[in-house]
Structure 1
């Protein structure tokens, strides 16, 4: 029996919970999760940042952990994967400047493979041009990015998720239970208790 593979796209200062929790949860379900970062290889790490909501005008940011990458970005082939996870944090802000990252997101979308993007992950969807005529949730500060990319920003509570076609999007890490459940459902997995 072959293990189904999921690609998780990370970068320095990716949001800690939005990277670690999907990686661990999807691995627990039996998926082989390849965590990659452009210009880094398996065994290297990215720094994470913890974003929290403490009553300020925006989220606070604290140092997170070192997250170990499990695969080389240079070896990624879309055909090897059943889905893509795009965590938020500050990483999407600069990863969207990488032409290979943009091409990768476009290829996953063109193949109609499930894509789970949370928080600032919508910045990569917008930069890749895959939101035209689509509906997408994101961290509220990314709403303008979604609209400028021709999409409709869906404003939902931080613990909710939104599905349209192959996209599963959510505002922030409090949505993990719904966001990951919706993504796994799109992947075709059945969980029976």
Structure 2
């Protein structure tokens, strides 16, 4: 059965972190509403592409324009089955919006699935919802997660209750697989059938 998923991002959200879950979750039949505070359906955000090229931290290049397909201010949170928070630079400012933090708290209060990747954990930490959870994040956020009260920071994709967290876009296969499991989505592979002899 298709699920309705809310994905919160903004200008300079990481391109892969936005595009891969959006397209992957839609591909298996779910509906993903992508929103940003102070923007409406039809508005565009600019994404960024983060890459490691031998420096001590990542470089940021301009990504794509992504058209939002829903408006956060109009969202009826009770109608959504899950929440997904991509990484990138956007979470640094998204965590300053009460509307975003209240949205996150709703999904924890109702024990609905939440996925967060890379820097998306900035938002979880600011919403004060990680107390007692095992979680992971981009490694540079470890001390922030611990200061926010997480029970343990784990160096791998981690599920604890209704929360699944990952460190970066190379974790997409694992975090999305777990997120789909949390949604009750079963992906079946048909057995190959040998061609009939002529």
Q: TM-score, normalised by structure 1?
A: 0.95
For structure 2, the residue ranges without an aligned partner over 5 or more in a row are 190-198
CA distance in 1, matches of 2:76, 2:155: 33
Match of residue 176 from structure 2: 180
Identify the range of structure 1 (48-57 vs 102-111) with the bigger mean alpha-carbon deviation.
48-57
Match of residue 101 from structure 1: 100
Larger Rg: 2
Give deviations 1:114-136, integer Å, cap 9, x for gaps: 10100000111101111111111
1:41 shift after superposition: 0.6
CA distance in 1, matches of 2:55, 2:168: 16
1:4 shift after superposition: 2.1
CA distance in 2, matches of 1:9, 1:95: 9
* Structure 1 stretches of at least 4 aligned residues deviating more than 6 Å after TM superposition: none
CA distance in 1, matches of 2:25, 2:4: 10
1:172 shift after superposition: 0.2
Identify the range of structure 1 (2-11 vs 161-170) with the bigger mean alpha-carbon deviation.
2-11
How do 1:1-193 residues align onto structure 2 when only pairs under 5 Å count? 3-151=2-150, 152-156=152-156, 161-193=157-189
For structure 1, the residue ranges without an aligned partner over 5 or more in a row are none
* Structure 2 contact 3–183 (Cα < 8 Å) conserved: no
CA distance in 2, matches of 1:118, 1:21: 12
Give deviations 1:86-116, integer Å, cap 9, x for gaps: 0000111111100010000000011111101
Question: RMSD of the TM alignment (CA)?
Answer: 1.0
Q: TM-score, normalised by structure 2?
A: 0.93
CA distance in 2, matches of 1:88, 1:190: 26
Aligned length: 188
